[in-house]
């Protein structure tokens, strides 16, 4: 049977991969490779040596004879498809009495290994394609760090900054009511994401608890400490980033204290990563950017001082004296040993990859590297810690919060950090060992491990 390449996919046999061809969800054409039942995928081969997502990982693994026989095309098609997609129209009663309809989504990708798990975001650009893509990624992330969850994601297409606190609370509670029994401690467990926070998680818990008495605290993670939240959760993603970089330095036999690090983004992930790398591992943070600009200091930036400065100036870096102001996007190609994109997707393009002199790239943001960028990094021998692994610390700590809620037994911050260390270190070496053994890029190794784990669970369950 002759099979055409998936719609819109770039055929790398005839065309060089373009990294800046973005679809409305912001993903590159490479990311559109999808499995369809019955498709004979080995006929559609990739030129590249690196993979971009779960689908392209499978192409490569199969081409290289690494894919296990148990994962056939039908199973792959199933694993690539979302199990349930809920589209809701939420009628929000505004403070002025008018009615505002808001589109909202919850996509549950796969639960072969445990309840669905994933963030809930409030942003006016939220759309089904983006939510689907991120639900898919969550499945592989949870499997890679070996926590008993599947993948999900949700969102409401609204700018929360345009809502009053009362409106935001009403919207959140209406969303929970619409979701009904589709969420729950053993069904689907949301968490904070873009523009959602511990307060919103507390409202989710409260609304859910009105109609569910079985361990309702465990319905959502990222709650305030005073209401079932976990010690160490806030810093967990940044700490995970620092841990995997420390392990990468061991692997590459370089001293972490001698690394000059540049970080794009100074929010939750970027700030904690910078702070922990500086304070606990002695790395020199030479560059930091945020939406407003970038600071470079070859002698090292005082991270806490810049943080206090930006807090006092509504996040604005301008006028900061502890380093040289550089154009914001130059941060990505500044002189450094380690680059940590911790803000945006698709920012490490082919051009950025060509001009960066970093030897290590830690993908703290979700999907910061385009397919073509990834090829250049591979060619240039840059050690990439893929986002699947690098930013998994947050969901690992969410898992600990869920466990504590179910047991009603709360851990110290030290215990959370110790357990986070174990998960992140194990996952890091799983990826590196496979990548070295099979001579594949680290991203392919990460997806490969995750795919095998989810496929095994699906088969054991009788798929
Ligand atoms: P955040 O909103 O706290 O911070 C984002 C930072 O990026 C801010 O400092 C903002 O000013 C900066 N920024 C925005 N546009 C920029 C630009 N063009 N150039 C430079 N900086 C820019 O968000 P966060 O929670 O730190 O998340 C950052 C990334 O990490 C996102 O991709 C997110 O999806 C991913 N992530 C976060 C978590 C988590 O637990 N917070 C977990 C997994 C993945």
For 114-172, what is each residue's pLDDT tens digit? Answer: 999 999 999 999 999 989 989 999 999 999 999 999 999 999 999 999 999 999 999 99
Task: Point out the ligand 1 atom lying closest to the alpha carbon of residue 236.
Answer: 40
Res 371: pLDDT: 82
Please indicate whether residue 234 or residue 7 has the higher confidence score (pLDDT): 234
Confirm whether 162 is a catalytic residue: no
Place of tokens 């983006």: 130
User: How many angstroms is it from 345 CA to the middle of ligand 1?
Assistant: 9
Of 343, 347, 364, 392, the residue with max ligand 1 atoms within 8 A of its CB, to mutate for a pocket test, comes to 343
Res 39: pLDDT: 44
User: How many angstroms is it from 455 CA to the middle of ligand 1?
Assistant: 31
Q: How confident is the model at residue 214 (pLDDT cuts 50, 70, 90)?
A: confident
Strands 116-122 and 151-156, by their bridges, are parallel
Residue 404 beta carbon below 6 angstroms from any ligand 1 atom: no
Residue 108 beta carbon below 6 angstroms from any ligand 1 atom: no
Residue 123 beta carbon below 6 angstroms from any ligand 1 atom: no
In a 13 Å sphere around the CA of 15, the CA atoms on its Cβ side amount to 10
Res 55: pLDDT: 79
Residue 259 beta carbon below 6 angstroms from any ligand 1 atom: no
Task: Point out the ligand 1 atom lying closest to the alpha carbon of residue 364.
Answer: 30
What residue's CA is closest to ligand 1, atom 2?
267
Res 310: pLDDT: 96
- Encoded tokens for 435: 């990548």
Distance CA 242, CA 58 (A): 29
Lowest mean per-residue pLDDT among 78-82, 190-194, 248-252? 78-82
What residue's CA is closest to ligand 1, atom 1?
267
Task: Point out the ligand 1 atom lying closest to the alpha carbon of residue 271.
Answer: 26
Task: Point out the ligand 1 atom lying closest to the alpha carbon of residue 368.
Answer: 32
Res 34: pLDDT: 55
Place of tokens 């947050």: 394
Q: How far is CA 377 from CA 55, 121, 184, 396, 444, in A?
A: 20, 31, 41, 28, 14
Res 364: pLDDT: 98
Question: Secondary structure of the chain: what % helix, strand, coil (to 5)?
Answer: 45, 15, 40
Residue 269 beta carbon below 6 angstroms from any ligand 1 atom: yes
Res 44: pLDDT: 33
User: How many angstroms is it from 167 CA to the middle of ligand 1?
Assistant: 25
Catalytic residue among 34, 117, 141, 153: 153
What residue's CA is closest to ligand 1, atom 16?
291
What residue's CA is closest to ligand 1, atom 14?
291
| Predicted confidence (pLDDT) at residue 270 exceeds the cutoff of 70 | yes
Res 3: pLDDT: 29
What residue's CA is closest to ligand 1, atom 33?
365
Residue 328 beta carbon below 6 angstroms from any ligand 1 atom: yes
| Predicted confidence (pLDDT) at residue 16 exceeds the cutoff of 70 | no
Distance CA 294, CA 318 (A): 9
Task: Point out the ligand 1 atom lying closest to the alpha carbon of residue 270.
Answer: 26
Task: Point out the ligand 1 atom lying closest to the alpha carbon of residue 294.
Answer: 20
Cα 354 to chain centroid distance, Å, stands at: 24
Residue 366 beta carbon below 6 angstroms from any ligand 1 atom: yes
What residue's CA is closest to ligand 1, atom 25?
268
User: How many angstroms is it from 271 CA to the middle of ligand 1?
Assistant: 10
User: How many angstroms is it from 291 CA to the middle of ligand 1?
Assistant: 10
Contact (Cβ atoms closer than 8 angstroms) between residue 194 and residue 141: no
pTM above 0.85, yes or no: yes
Q: For the segment 404-447, what is each residue's pLDDT rounded down to a tens digit?
A: 999 999 999 999 999 999 999 999 999 999 999 999 999 999 99
Residue 155 beta carbon below 6 angstroms from any ligand 1 atom: no
**Helix (H, G, I), strand (E, B), or coil: what is residue 215?**
coil
Of 134, 161, 267, the residue with max ligand 1 atoms within 8 A of its CB, to mutate for a pocket test, comes to 267
User: How many angstroms is it from 199 CA to the middle of ligand 1?
Assistant: 19
Residue 387 beta carbon below 6 angstroms from any ligand 1 atom: no
354-383 in b/e burial notation, b at 16+ Cβ within 10 A? Answer: eebebbbbbbbbbbbbbbbbbbbbbeeebb
User: How many angstroms is it from 224 CA to the middle of ligand 1?
Assistant: 20
Q: What percent of the chain has pLDDT over 90?
A: 78
Q: For the segment 331-386, what is each residue's pLDDT rounded down to a tens digit?
A: 999 999 999 999 988 899 999 999 999 999 999 999 899 888 988 999 999 999 99
Res 22: pLDDT: 37
Residue 197 beta carbon below 6 angstroms from any ligand 1 atom: no
Residues in the chain: 463
Place of tokens 């619409």: 178
């Amino acid at each position: 049977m002759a099979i055409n390449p998936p719609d819109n996919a770039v055929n790398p046999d005839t065309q060089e991969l373009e990294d800046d061809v973005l679809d409305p969800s912001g993903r590159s054409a490479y990311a559109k490779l999808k499995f369809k039942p019955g498709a004979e995928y080995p006929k559609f081969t990739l030129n590249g040596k690196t993979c971009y997502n779960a689908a392209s990982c499978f192409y490569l693994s199969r081409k290289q004879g690494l894919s296990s026989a148990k994962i056939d095309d039908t199973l792959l098609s199933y694993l690539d498809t979302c199990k349930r997609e809920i589209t809701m129209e939420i009628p929000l009663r505004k403070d002025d009495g008018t009615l505002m309809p808001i589109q909202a989504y919850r996509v549950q990708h796969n639960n072969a290994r445990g309840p669905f798990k994933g963030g809930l975001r409030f942003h006016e650009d939220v759309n089904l394609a983006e939510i689907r893509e991120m639900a898919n990624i969550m499945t592989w992330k949870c499997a890679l760090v070996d926590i008993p969850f599947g993948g999900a994601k949700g969102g409401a297409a609204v700018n929360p900054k345009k809502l009053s606190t009362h409106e935001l609370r009403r919207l959140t509670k209406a969303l929970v009511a619409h979701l009904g029994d589709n969420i729950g401690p053993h069904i689907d467990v949301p968490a904070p994401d873009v523009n959602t926070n511990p307060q919103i998680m507390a409202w989710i818990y409260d609304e859910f608890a009105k109609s569910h008495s079985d361990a309702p605290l465990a319905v959502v993670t990222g709650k305030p400490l005073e209401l079932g939240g976990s010690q160490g959760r806030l810093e967990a993603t940044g700490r995970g980033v620092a841990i995997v970089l420390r392990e990468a330095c061991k692997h590459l036999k370089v001293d972490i204290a001698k690394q000059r690090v540049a970080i794009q983004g100074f929010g939750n992930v970027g700030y904690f990563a910078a702070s922990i790398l500086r304070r606990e591992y002695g790395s020199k943070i030479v560059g930091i950017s945020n939406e407003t600009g970038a600071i470079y200091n070859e002698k090292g930036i005082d991270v806490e001082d810049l943080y206090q400065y930006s807090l006092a100036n509504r996040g604005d870096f301008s006028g900061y004296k502890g380093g040289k102001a550089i154009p914001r996007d130059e941060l990505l190609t500044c002189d450094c040993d380690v680059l940590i994109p911790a803000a945006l997707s698709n920012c490490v393009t082919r051009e950025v990859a060509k001009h960066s002199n970093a030897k290590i790239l830690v993908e703290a943001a979700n999907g910061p590297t385009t397919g073509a960028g990834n090829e250049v990094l591979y060619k240039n021998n840059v050690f990439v810690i893929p986002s699947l692994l690098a930013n998994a610390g947050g969901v690992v700590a969410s898992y600990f919060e869920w466990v504590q809620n179910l047991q009603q037994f709360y851990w110290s911050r030290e215990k959370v950090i110790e357990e986070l260390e174990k998960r992140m270190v194990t996952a890091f070496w799983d990826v590196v060992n496979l990548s070295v053994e099979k001579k594949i890029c680290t991203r392919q190794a990460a997806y490969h491990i995750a795919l095998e784990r989810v496929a095994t669970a699906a088969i054991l369950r009788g798929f």
